[in-house]
Amino acid sequence: MQLIAIIPSNRSLVERFIKEFGPYPFDIYGDPERSLYKKMGHKSMAKWKLLAKAGKAFLKGGKKSFLPENEARRQVVKESLNTQDIYIQGGSWISDETGKVVWKHIDESPEKHAKIGELLKQVK
């Protein structure tokens, strides 16, 4: 079995992200045009809805809820917020050995990711 991550960012930002937040035990690829995201049915959250969620999180936890304390990590996050599509939502996909999708979960909002337990159950 192989695990990969695809994120809606360009290669240079992916490399900086891995350098500052990694290493990860899987490969991370960029999809800056979001062509794969769109083809696979991923959704963009309404701008007002995401800003409302961000405002609520900020009121609850302050800027620490958004920005890491480590300066290099903070710069990567700031660049991402300023230059990347922060509205597109992610998802989880499981394919068999032939590439056929056998399970998927498309996130409706940032806090509604597939749970690790569900992913593990699906790969067994």
> Taking the model in full, what pTM does it have?
0.73
Q: Is the dihedral of CA 4, 109, 60, 71 positive or negative?
A: positive
User: 43 and 89 in contact (C-beta within 8 Å)?
Assistant: yes
Q: What is the pLDDT of residues 61-112, one digit of tens each?
A: 766 667 888 999 999 988 988 888 888 888 888 888 898 888 999 988 878 8
Domain boundary assignment for the chain: 4-123
State the average pLDDT over residues 29-44: 89
Q: Taking all residues of the chain, what is their mean pLDDT, rounded to a whole number?
A: 86
In sequence order, which ranges of the chain are alpha helices (DSSP H)? 11-21, 35-39, 47-61, 71-83, 116-123
Contact (Cβ atoms closer than 8 angstroms) between residue 56 and residue 111: no
Quote the radius of gyration of the chain (alpha carbons, Å).
Answer: 16
**Pick from 118, 96, 121, 123: which is nearest to 107 by CA?**
118
Indicate the pLDDT class of residue 1, thresholds 50, 70 and 90.
low
**Across residues 13-38, what is the average pLDDT?**
91
What is the distance between the alpha carbons of residues 73 and 76, in angstroms, rounded to a whole number?
Answer: 5
- What is the reported pLDDT for 64? 65
